Each structure stands twice: as C-alpha cells, then as structure tokens.
C-alpha cells in the first residue's frame, strides 16, 4: 500500500470510475445466470468479482474487499460440474450481491453504512450457501491444463502476465520513491509466490519469498533489493521461456544475504501441498485473466496487493481489549476506525455513455454546424440587402430634396412672372376669366409642394425602418456568433469525451523495449512523434496489439546485433521510430527502423521450402508480391523459434486486427537501410476545415492538411512541356518543378442531374492572368511529392460537415465525401494526398489511360481521373468515363479474386480491351454478385480464397440453374494436374495458372465469349 496520500487519492478517483461499471456487470451477470447457467457465465462473474475485490483492496475499502472475496469463493464453487444452481442458491446469490452493493453505493454517493452489520449479514448468507454447496465449497478448482486450453499455459503466462508485471517494476525503478517501489515489489512478489505454487515452479517462488524477507529485514535498502529481485525474476523468466517447467530459477546470493537467511527452493510448497489459503492461489488466475483479456488485467496490481489473506467471514464479535502487540489483523474493520482518513468525496458526475450515443451527438453537432452556416449566409445576405435598401432610400431622399428645391424655384419664378405681368398690364382691364384662374394655379402649386414634402417625410421614415432592420441584423449576427462559440465548445467537449492522445498508447512501448534490450543485449533508441494526435478511445485500445507486434518484429528481424551494425558502419544503438499524423480522414502510423531491411531472396527461399509455390513461380514474383507473403498465416522467416519470433504468428495478426478497424498496412523496405510499416486507419471525422474552390461550374472542397501553398503564378513561372505545364516553385530555398493539372479536366464527371443542381459560377481571375494554383504535398518515406492543382476561383476556408456518399456507388479513393454548402449546394470533398498518389500511379502505369499527361490548357481533350486504377478500391461497376461509347454492348465479366493486386491487374487488362468488369473479393462475394447482377457472360475465378474458395464457388455455380451456363476460367497458382482435373469436374470451362500472360488470357476470354454467344444463338 502506498503511504502517499496524493497517490492514494488519485487511485481512489479511479476506483470511483471503475466500480459502477463492475457493479453493473455483476448485476447483469447474475440476472443472466437465471437463463444462462453455464460455466462460462460463472467464470465471468468470478472474474468481475475478483477485479472489484482487487480495486477495493487498493484503496483500503476493507468491507467491500471482504464481501467481494467471499462472493468470489462462492462463484468458484459453482464452477464444479456436479453443482446444480437451484432457485434457492440464486436467491442467496442476490442476497450476497446486495451485501456488496450497499457499502459500494454508500462509497460512491458519499453516504454511510453500518459495516459491522453488513459483515454479519454477509457471514450469515454465505454460511447458508456453504451448507447448500456442501463439499463442493471446499474443493479448489484446478488450473486448466495446456491441453484443455490448446496452448502452453506456463509459456503464455510468462510471456504476458509475468512480463507485464516485471516491466511495470522495471519502469518504476528509475523515478519512483522507495515507498512506492516497496509496495510494488511486495505486491508482485506475493503474486509470483502464488503463481509458483500453482505452476509447480519452486525456484521462482523462492525468489519471491526471499525478496519479501529482504524487504522485511532491510526496509531502508528498497532499491538494491528491487534491482536484485528484478534481475533474479528475469533470469527465472528466461529459463521458463526456454523450456524449464520444474524449477524456474533461484534467488541470487546477494538477495539471500539481504534476506539474512537463505530460502531453499525445496521448502516452497508445490501445487496440491500448499498450506496457504486460497487468495494466494488465485494469483495465477489473475495472470490468466491478462491472457484471456478479462477485466482483471486492468487491476492486477491492485488486486494482488493484499498482504493479509482473507478467509471466510464469521460474525463480528464485540470488541475485546487485548494487548495491541498480540492483536491479529481481522478482515472485518469497524466503520468507526477507517484505515485512513479522507475528505468526503462528492458524488462523481460521470456517467456511462455508449459509443452509439456519442455518434448520434456527433451527427447532431454536424447538423447544427450546417444550419449555422446557412443562417450565417442568410443573415449576411439580409444585412447586405438592408444596407443596399438603406443606401437607395438615402439616394431617393436626396432626389426628393432636389425635386422639392426645383419645385420651389419654379413656383417662385412663376409668382414673380405673374406679378410683373400684372404690373405691366395694370392700366388695362383684366378679363374676368383669367383672374379666376390664378387662385387655382396657386392651389395646385401648393398641393404639389405638400405632396413632395409628404414623400420626403415617408422616405425619412422608411430610412429609419431600414436602419432598424440593419441594427437587428447586426444583433442577430452577434447572437449567431455566440451560438457558434457555444457549438465550438460543445464540439470540443464531445471530442474530449471520446478521444485521447495517442501518446497514452505509444508511451507504453519504451518499457517494453527496455526489457527486450536487457534480455537480448541489443540497444535500441525509440523516437515517438505525434503523441498529441487525437484518436478515438475505442480505436486506440485496439491499436496497442498490432503496434506491439510491429515493434517486436522490428527488434528481432530488423535491428542487427551490435557486431553486425559495427561492420556496416552503423551506430551500435538501433533506431526505431513511431510517427503518427492525420492525413485527410485517416490516421497514419509509421513504424520505421534503420535495420537490415527485408531480405527478398530469403522470403523467396522460404516460400519454396514451405512448398507454398514452386521455385519457377517464385522467381516470377515481384518484390511486392513476395513481401505480401509476410502477412500469410503461419509464415515466418526466422530460422528458429525464440521468445520473440519463429512461430509464424505476428504480421498476419496485425493485418487482421487492422482489417477489423477497416484499416490497411503497407510495407516499404530498402536493403541495409531499414523498413517502414505504414498503418492507415480511417477516422470518424465528420467536421473538418476545408478549402473551397471552383473549377468549371462546380464547387470542390479540399482537406487542407495537404495544402502547401496557394498562389497565382506569374507567366515566367510556367514552363510548357510535351507532358503538360510545369510550375517553377521555390520551397526552402530549393527550386522545384511541380506539374500542374487542371481540376476541371481531371474530375470531368459528366452528369445531367449534377449540372442541373449546380449554380453557375463566374471566375474572379481577370482576362490575361493565370488561374490560381494550389500546391499540394504528399508525405513519403523517402521524399515528399508535390503537384499543382489549377482551379478557376478560390472561395476560402470554411468548417464544414463531411457526409458519406452512400453505398450505391464506390467513389475513388481521393473522394472523401460531400459537404452541404451554406447556399444548399453540394461540394465533393477531395483528399489532396490521395489525389497526388493517384496521379503519380497513373503516370507510371502504362496500362492506365494518360489522364494526367496533357497540359492544363487542354481541358477538353483530357479524360477524367477515374477509379479503375490498381491503387483504388474495388468498384462494383466500371466508371462511365473509362468505357468507350460502345461499352454497354460489350461483354460483362466478373473477376473473383481475393488479392487486390491481382484483381486490379485483371480489371485493367480487361477494361483496356473494352470489357465491362465487375469485381468480387472471394467466392461468397462472387455468388452474391452473380445473384444480383444481370448479364454476366464470363467469370474469372481464383481457387485459394477466404470464406469460400474457388472450388466451392464452382460447386455452388453448378447447383444454381441460373449460373450453371456461365463459362468460368479458373486462374490459380496451382499447377497440379489433380487441381486441374478437379476444377474441370466441378464445372470450370478453362484453367490457367499464375503468373499469366495477358495476351493469352485475352485470347482465351475472347474465344470463350464467341463460343458462348454462338451456342446461345443456335436454336
């Protein structure tokens, strides 16, 4: 137990987080026991109770520890095959669970409970259970044998559980305080002592007992004792892993001297002879849980830290005064005298939330962001309209004032003229009719003046209303900005709830490497980059195992011994780097070493030795195809089995675990320089900062992590070449030639519906000037690649929601989805990194169309960038842009092949010949495709595939009348006559072996299609 109150309080907070989940699992397990009374279910209950017991013990909650321990004993007894769980036993189990729940809930809520009463009630309930179980209660459940488990149990425990505990101890030695080291060493030694008894390894138990004795005798020499004990445990572990099943090492003389007495191994009792009580024996189960993936692995250090065995519960007697020195430690401790005083802890505000609910919240936040962008645009448009209205009203007001002034001048001039006319004709007699008309004119002029004044007044009032509208619009904009900040805070809180820094996983590896260095005398330096990259918690935990496999693989296969590195002029210490970063909507993790690289010839030799393929076929395989064998189950290049490799288990597990995350893994290796394993894991990214631009009449959005620079080039920066335009670009004082591609031409996907939905856009580039160019970067293990994307107009950056395109069509790898813009239009979201890689692959692939080889100005003649390349995911149908105009009349062919490389090679060759190609990744997928697709005229099928192989595929096709008449070409690396004969008997029309000649395959396809069409037309 730690004596540091800060550490204890932190541990207590973890307990408050873990305990509700364990209590819930225990309750659900008991409820399920009524309908599912199986050994597996009882084992789960026992494991959960054991975890809760250890967690409570680590924070000195004695009552909970005691009740949980007794309940665990009951569950262990229920594992006996001759125990029948009737209704009475189930009722007593729930009573016992209630005794555990009451003090635990009180601890979680800050309440109080009578601990003595709880213990007395618990003792009575479990006494009844013991009577019901009879002799079964006293029997000790033996550990499962290796034969029962299907693997060497001792080997597995020492590879995982023991290794984990020794690594924890080794990691604590440099920086932990003596008190913490003492607690950890004593805890681990007690676990190892029980383990040695269970596995009949007296030498390993002697090391543990000697270490405990040394701590008791010399508590002031904790660190030397821990170092000596760790070294002895390591030697014992190495002996066990090497095959020792009778002894397991022995304590060193130095450790025995510190213990002040030698502990002979013979005195360590073996399994079946131990007089120790049950809790020590359970330590083996703790380590087994770390192998089987139970919850106990997370709490083993606390669960095994009990220094006092807890026996069955007896009613708590009244306090009796005794000599304090002779008073034994009782399992039941009064609530009035807690082991340590702590401040009252308020109830935890944390709740358990499923990932599904977090996903729903994430979707809701995305919808709010889309609506907010739309509201922002509407308010901006309203504000612009209000300002325009206000400006025009003011202009109208000025015109009315001018009209008023003009009218006044005209009226005054008319009056002056009238007066002058009257004076000049005063001597003459005026006509009566004219004198009657003058008042009428004056009234008309007066009415006009009043009308103009009224219009002017109304205009002023309208101007005031427009100013009020503009004011309200500004206030609404301010309110919307506050909502945007609140939405941003909610997003951050949601990210914090489901994401964690990848460093919490990566920082566990330095300790592993230190132990490997010690055991194998191979120094290595580990560099971690990208530890602050956020990743989903569910994904993060599933990344540990594949990364651990890759690290151990690099240590064993990649990094050379010191002597070899010296001969090759390398530093003695090997270099291992783990680099993590976000690339578009993917998390990329690179595991890179500076070792000897992958020996292609050794792989070639190994696959021939294991009779996977013939020597002739192996010589035809490319390096990429040979490297792919490293991921085959059971394949290993290690010459012999050791504790690191040689069992053929490793990279295939890595690939399977990544596929479970919908991820991929690629390998790059340079002889004598090193190997890089690159993991791509798709992220649940739904909101991202995007760069909006226009090309043609369409709007596109680029993920901005690949954008290096945006510029409008000068004419002197552009060079014209036969392959297209090239930009002279300077970066880091280095001039580069960057190819330029027109986005409008490269993504020329013609769709009348798409055109109808889009609004026309006008270019902001003045005539005579070059269009904007977006320079994009794709990181690479050797060097970065750059390309320039020419667009018509740059709109700017905006935070948008990325929506998937759906499953109706398979998008190219560089299309990440679509975003709804503020005006309701849709914009395709493009991953610039994948766009660059697709462009480079198409340039280097002679089988593909030269989509990127024409200048940026030749937009009309350039075919679009399509999804039919080998680097892109399989598509159910060939894109319209790839097929010739008469493609619809061409034959429809289905390719069934699990290897994406072989499958895409076939697709390209067939598409080049003008066929319409569909794809399936195995036999089962092929059957499903044939049942849904119409007009398939020929099938090319592999034999060795997962789920359903080619032979099963042939059999299913012959059993289905609708498919029996389709000709099938079997394309396989199996050149045996028995396979050829069997395939023919199952209905194969033709048989071709890999590697195949393209022209021969096309001739065979053409001949079979002709024969099929002739036979179908023959009456």
- Tell me what pLDDT residue 648 has: 43
Question: Is there a single domain that holds both residue 176 and residue 201?
Answer: yes
Confidence of residue 335 (pLDDT cuts 50, 70, 90): very low
Q: Which of 222-231, 384-393, 421-430, 883-892 has the lowest mean pLDDT?
A: 883-892
Report how far residue 524's alpha carbon sits from residue 513's, in angstroms, rounded to the nearest whole number.
8
Q: Give the residue, 198 or 534, on which the prediction is more confident.
A: 534
- Tell me what pLDDT residue 220 has: 87
Q: Would you say how long the chain is, in residues? A: 1019
Q: What's the CATH number where 716 sits?
A: 2.40.50.180
Q: Is the pLDDT of residue 478 over 60?
A: yes
What is the percent of the chain where pLDDT is above 70? 69
Q: Which of 866, 882, 852, 864 is nearest to 813 (CA)?
A: 866
Q: How many domains does the chain have?
A: 6
- Tell me what pLDDT residue 101 has: 78
Average pLDDT for the chain: 73
What is the percent of the chain where pLDDT is above 90? 6
Report how far residue 922's alpha carbon sits from residue 898's, in angstroms, rounded to the nearest whole number.
5
Adjacent-strand bridge partners of 528: 578
Question: Is there a single domain that holds both residue 628 and residue 751?
Answer: no
Residue carrying the six token digits 């000697």: 210
Angle at which helices 432-498 and 355-424 pack, to 10 degrees?
A: 160
**Domain limits for position 838:** 688-844
Q: Which of 253-267, 423-437, 829-843 has the lowest mean pLDDT?
A: 423-437
For the stretch 976-1003, pLDDT in tens is 666 676 677 677 889 888 767 888 889 8
Question: Is there a single domain that holds both residue 664 and residue 762?
Answer: no
Instruction: For residue 70, tell me if it sits in a domain.
Output: yes
Confidence of residue 901 (pLDDT cuts 50, 70, 90): low
Q: Which of 235, 221, 226, 119 is nearest to 172 (CA)?
A: 226
Instruction: For residue 860, tell me if it sits in a domain.
Output: no
Report how far residue 186's alpha carbon sits from residue 188's, in angstroms, rounded to the nearest whole number.
6
- Tell me what pLDDT residue 893 has: 93
Mean pLDDT on 867-891: 38
DSSP letters, 555-602, are IIIISPPHHHHHHTT--SSEEEEEEEEEETTEEEEEEEE-S----HHH
Angle at which helices 222-241 and 161-172 pack, to 10 degrees?
A: 150
Question: Is there a single domain that holds both residue 650 and residue 675?
Answer: yes
- Tell me what pLDDT residue 485 has: 78
Report how far residue 333's alpha carbon sits from residue 288's, in angstroms, rounded to the nearest whole number.
31
- Structure letter (DSSP) for residue 676: E
Report how far residue 995's alpha carbon sits from residue 418's, in angstroms, rounded to the nearest whole number.
114
- The burial of 1019, by beta-carbon neighbours within 10 Å (0-12 exposed, 13-18 middle, 19 or more buried), is given as exposed
Q: What's the CATH number where 396 sits?
A: 1.10.287
Answer whether 463's CB lies under 8 Å from 401's CB: no
Q: Is the pLDDT of residue 851 over 60?
A: no
- Tell me what pLDDT residue 133 has: 77
Mean pLDDT on 786-806: 82
Q: Which of 527-541, 685-699, 880-894 has the lowest mean pLDDT?
A: 880-894
HSE-up of residue 358 (Cα within 13 Å, Cβ side): 19
- Tell me what pLDDT residue 631 has: 82
Q: Is the pLDDT of residue 763 over 60?
A: no
- Tell me what pLDDT residue 324 has: 34
Instruction: For residue 840, tell me if it sits in a domain.
Output: yes
Rounded to 5°, the CA angle 898-901-902 comes to: 65
Question: Is there a single domain that holds both residue 487 and residue 367?
Answer: yes
Q: Which of 831, 802, 804, 821 is nearest to 366 (CA)?
A: 802
Cis peptide before 806 (omega within 30 of 0): no
Return the exposure string of 512-530: e unless at least 16 CB atoms fall within 10 Å of the residue's CB, then b: bbbbbbebbebebebebeb
Q: Is the pLDDT of residue 148 over 60?
A: no
Question: Is there a single domain that holds both residue 707 and residue 659?
Answer: no
- Structure letter (DSSP) for residue 337: S
Question: Is there a single domain that holds both residue 395 and residue 479?
Answer: yes
- Tell me what pLDDT residue 136 has: 67
Looking at the chain, the number of H-run helices and the number of E-run strands are 33, 23
Last residue of a domain, one of 659, 682, 705: 682
Report how far residue 620's alpha carbon sits from residue 974's, in angstroms, rounded to the nearest whole number.
14
Q: Give the residue, 660 or 414, on which the prediction is more confident.
A: 660
Confidence of residue 504 (pLDDT cuts 50, 70, 90): confident
Q: Which of 23, 25, 50 is nearest to 282 (CA)?
A: 50
Question: Is there a single domain that holds both residue 660 and residue 522?
Answer: yes
- Tell me what pLDDT residue 454 has: 78
Mean pLDDT on 89-100: 80
Return the exposure string of 86-96: e unless at least 16 CB atoms fall within 10 Å of the residue's CB, then b: eeebeebbbbb
Q: Is the pLDDT of residue 849 over 60?
A: no
Run of H or E including 715: none
Answer whether 829's CB lies under 8 Å from 816's CB: yes
- Tell me what pLDDT residue 436 has: 47
Instruction: For residue 573, tell me if it sits in a domain.
Output: yes
Mean pLDDT on 897-917: 81
Confidence of residue 383 (pLDDT cuts 50, 70, 90): confident
Report how far residue 103's alpha carbon sits from residue 338's, in angstroms, rounded to the nearest whole number.
14
Mean pLDDT on 309-319: 38
Integer-rounded Cα radius of gyration of the chain? 40
Instruction: For residue 420, tell me if it sits in a domain.
Output: no
Confidence of residue 527 (pLDDT cuts 50, 70, 90): very high
Question: Is there a single domain that holds both residue 637 and residue 735?
Answer: no
Mean pLDDT on 488-513: 78
Confidence of residue 292 (pLDDT cuts 50, 70, 90): very low
Q: Which of 147-151, 154-158, 459-463 has the lowest mean pLDDT?
A: 147-151
Q: Is the pLDDT of residue 871 over 60?
A: no
- Backbone φ, ψ for residue 459 (5° rounding): -65, -40
Last residue of a domain, one of 636, 657, 682: 682
- Tell me what pLDDT residue 587 has: 87
Instruction: For residue 800, tell me if it sits in a domain.
Output: yes
For the stretch 401-427, pLDDT in tens is 777 777 777 777 776 766 666 666 665
- The burial of 385, by beta-carbon neighbours within 10 Å (0-12 exposed, 13-18 middle, 19 or more buried), is given as middle
- Tell me what pLDDT residue 207 has: 92
Max mean pLDDT among 54-58, 448-452, 470-474 falls in 470-474
Instruction: For residue 180, tell me if it sits in a domain.
Output: yes
Q: Is the pLDDT of residue 343 over 90?
A: no
Question: Is there a single domain that holds both residue 189 and residue 241?
Answer: yes
Last residue of a domain, one of 283, 311, 339: 311
Q: Is the pLDDT of residue 164 over 60?
A: yes
Residue 798, sorted as left (phi over 0), alpha (psi -120 to 50) or beta, turns out to be beta
- Tell me what pLDDT residue 809 has: 63
Q: Which of 414, 395, 418 is nearest to 406 (CA)?
A: 414
Q: Give the residue, 442 or 42, on which the prediction is more confident.
A: 42
Q: Give the residue, 818 or 310, on which the prediction is more confident.
A: 818
Q: Is the pLDDT of residue 940 over 90?
A: yes
Q: Which of 366-370, 392-396, 794-798, 998-1002 has the lowest mean pLDDT?
A: 366-370
Report how far residue 896's alpha carbon sits from residue 882's, in angstroms, rounded to the nearest whole number.
21
- Tell me what pLDDT residue 120 has: 87
Question: Is there a single domain that holds both residue 244 and residue 288?
Answer: yes
Q: Is the pLDDT of residue 277 over 70?
A: no
Query: Which two tokens mark 414?
Result: 């008319």
Residue carrying the six token digits 């769709």: 751
Angle at which helices 161-172 and 178-199 pack, to 10 degrees?
A: 160
Answer whether 952's CB lies under 8 Å from 931's CB: no
Instruction: For residue 96, tell me if it sits in a domain.
Output: yes
Answer whether 970's CB lies under 8 Å from 983's CB: yes
- Tell me what pLDDT residue 300 has: 37
Q: What's the CATH number where 615 sits?
A: 3.30.565.10
Report how far residue 24's alpha carbon sits from residue 603's, in angstroms, rounded to the nearest whole number.
51
Q: Is the pLDDT of residue 810 over 80?
A: no
Report how far residue 874's alpha carbon sits from residue 929's, in angstroms, rounded to the nearest whole number.
13
Mean pLDDT on 382-398: 81
Question: Is there a single domain that holds both residue 178 and residue 117?
Answer: no
Q: What's the CATH number where 1001 sits?
A: 3.40.50.2300
Q: Which of 958, 727, 756 is nearest to 855 (CA)?
A: 727
- Tell me what pLDDT residue 807 has: 61
The sign of the dihedral angle between the CA atoms of 973, 979, 981, 983 is negative
């Amino acid at each position: 137990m730690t004596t540091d109150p800060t550490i204890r309080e932190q541990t207590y907070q973890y307990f408050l987080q873990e305990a509700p989940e364990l209590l819930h699992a225990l309750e659900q397990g008991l409820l399920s026991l009524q309908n599912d009374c199986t050994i597996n279910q009882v084992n789960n209950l026992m494991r959960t109770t054991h975890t809760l017991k250890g967690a409570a013990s680590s924070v000195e909650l004695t009552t909970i520890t005691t009740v949980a321990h007794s309940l665990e004993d009951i569950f262990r007894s229920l594992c006996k095959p001759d125990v029948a769980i009737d209704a009475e036993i189930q009722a007593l189990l729930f009573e016992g669970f209630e005794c555990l729940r009451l003090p635990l809930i009180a601890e979680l809520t800050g309440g109080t409970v009578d601990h003595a009463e709880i213990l007395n009630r618990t003792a009575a309930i479990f006494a009844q259970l013991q009577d019901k179980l009879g002799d079964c209660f006293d029997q000790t459940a033996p550990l499962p044998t290796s034969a029962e488990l299907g693997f060497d149990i001792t080997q597995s425990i020492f590879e995982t559980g023991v290794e984990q505990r020794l690594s924890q101890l080794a990691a604590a030695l440099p920086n932990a305080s003596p008190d913490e080291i003492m607690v950890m060493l004593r805890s681990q030694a007690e676990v190892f002592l029980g383990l040695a008894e269970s596995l009949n390894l007296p030498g390993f138990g002697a090391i543990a007992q000697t270490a405990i004795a040394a701590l008791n005798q010399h508590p002031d020499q904790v660190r030397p004792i821990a170092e000596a004990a760790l070294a002895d445990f390591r030697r014992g572990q190495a002996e066990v892993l090497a095959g020792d099943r009778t002894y397991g090492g022995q304590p060193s003389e130095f450790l025995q001297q510190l213990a002040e007495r030698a502990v002979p191994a013979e005195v360590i009792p073996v399994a079946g002879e131990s007089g120790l009580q049950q809790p020590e024996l359970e330590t083996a189960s703790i380590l087994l849980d770390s192998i089987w993936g139970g919850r106990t692995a997370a709490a083993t250090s606390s669960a095994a830290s009990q220094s006092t065995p807890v026996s069955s519960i007896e009613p708590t007697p009244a306090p009796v005064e005794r000599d304090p020195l002779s008073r034994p430690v009782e399992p039941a401790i009064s609530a009035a005298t807690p082991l340590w005083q702590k401040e009252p802890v308020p109830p935890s505000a944390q709740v358990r939330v499923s990932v599904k609910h977090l996903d729903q919240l994430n979707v809701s936040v995305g919808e709010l962001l889309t609506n907010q962008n739309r509201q922002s645009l509407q308010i901006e448009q309203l504000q612009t309209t209000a300002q325009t209205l206000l400006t025009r009203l003011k202009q109208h007001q000025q015109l009315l004032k001018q009209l008023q002034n003009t009218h006044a001048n005209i009226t005054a001039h008319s009056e002056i003229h009238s007066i002058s006319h009257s004076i000049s004709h005063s001597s003459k007699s005026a006509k009566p009719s004219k004198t009657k008309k003058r008042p009428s004119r004056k009234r008309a002029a007066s009415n006009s003046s009043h009308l103009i004044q009224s219009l002017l007044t109304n205009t002023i009032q309208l101007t005031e209303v427009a100013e009020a509208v503009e004011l309200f619009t500004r206030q609404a904009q301010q309110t919307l900005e506050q909502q945007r900040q609140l939405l941003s805070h909610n997003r951050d809180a949601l990210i914090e709830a489901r994401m964690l820094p990848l460093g919490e996983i990566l920082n566990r590896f330095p300790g592993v490497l230190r132990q490997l260095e010690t055991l194998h005398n191979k120094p290595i330096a580990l560099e971690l980059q990208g530890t602050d990259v956020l990743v989903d918690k569910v994904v993060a935990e599933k990344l540990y195992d594949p990364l651990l496999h890759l690290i151990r693989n690099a240590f064993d296969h990649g990094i050379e011994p010191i002597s070899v590195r010296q001969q090759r002029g390398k530093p003695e210490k090997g270099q291992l780097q783990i680099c993590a970063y976000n690339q578009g909507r993917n998390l990329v993790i690179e595991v890179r070493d500076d070792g000897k690289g992958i020996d292609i010839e050794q792989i070639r030799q190994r696959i021939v030795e294991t009779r996977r393929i013939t020597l002739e076929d192996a010589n035809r395989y490319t390096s990429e195809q040979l490297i792919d064998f490293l991921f085959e189950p059971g394949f290993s290049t290690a010459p012999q089995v050791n504790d690191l490799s040689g069992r053929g288990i490793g990279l295939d597990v890595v690939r399977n675990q990544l596929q479970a995350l919908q991820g991929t893994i690629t390998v790059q290796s340079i002889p004598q320089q090193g190997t890089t394993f690159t993991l791509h894991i798709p992220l649940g990214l739904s909101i991202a900062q995007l760069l909006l631009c226009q090309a043609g009449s369409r709007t596109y959005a680029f993920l901005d992590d690949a954008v290096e620079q945006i510029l409008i080039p000068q004419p002197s920066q552009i060079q014209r070449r036969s392959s297209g335009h090239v930009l002279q670009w300077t970066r880091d004082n280095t001039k580069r030639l960057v190819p330029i591609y027109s986005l409008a031409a490269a993504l020329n996907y013609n769709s009348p519906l798409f055109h109808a939905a889009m609004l026309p856009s006008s270019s902001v580039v003045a005539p005579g000037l070059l269009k904007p160019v977006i320079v994009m970067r794709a990181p690479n293990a050797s060097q970065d690649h750059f390309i320039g994307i020419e667009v018509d107009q740059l709109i700017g950056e905006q935070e948008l929601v990325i929506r998937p395109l759906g499953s109706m069509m398979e998008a190219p790898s560089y299309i990440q989805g679509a975003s709804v813009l503020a005006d309701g239009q849709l914009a395709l979201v493009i991953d610039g990194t994948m766009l660059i890689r697709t462009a480079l692959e198409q340039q280097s692939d002679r089988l593909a169309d030269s989509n990127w080889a024409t200048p940026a100005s030749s937009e009309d003649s350039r075919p679009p960038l399509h999804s039919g390349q080998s680097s892109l995911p399989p598509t159910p149908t060939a894109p319209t842009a790839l097929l010739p105009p008469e493609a619809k009349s061409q034959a429809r062919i289905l390719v069934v092949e699990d290897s994406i490389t072989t499958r895409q090679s076939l697709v390209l060759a067939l598409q080049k010949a003008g066929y319409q190609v569909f794809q399936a990744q195995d036999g089962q997928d092929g059957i499903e495709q044939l049942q849904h697709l119409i007009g398939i005229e020929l099938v090319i099928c592999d034999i060795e595939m997962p789920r359903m192989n080619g032979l099963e595929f042939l059999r299913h096709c012959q059993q289905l009348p609708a498919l029996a008449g389709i000709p099938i070409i079997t394309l396989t690396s199996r050149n045996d006559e028995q396979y050829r004969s069997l395939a023919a008997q199952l209905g194969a029309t033709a048989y071709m072996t890999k590697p195949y000649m393209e022209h021969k395959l096309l001739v065979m396809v053409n001949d079979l299609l002709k024969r099929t069409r002739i036979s179908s037309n023959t009456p």
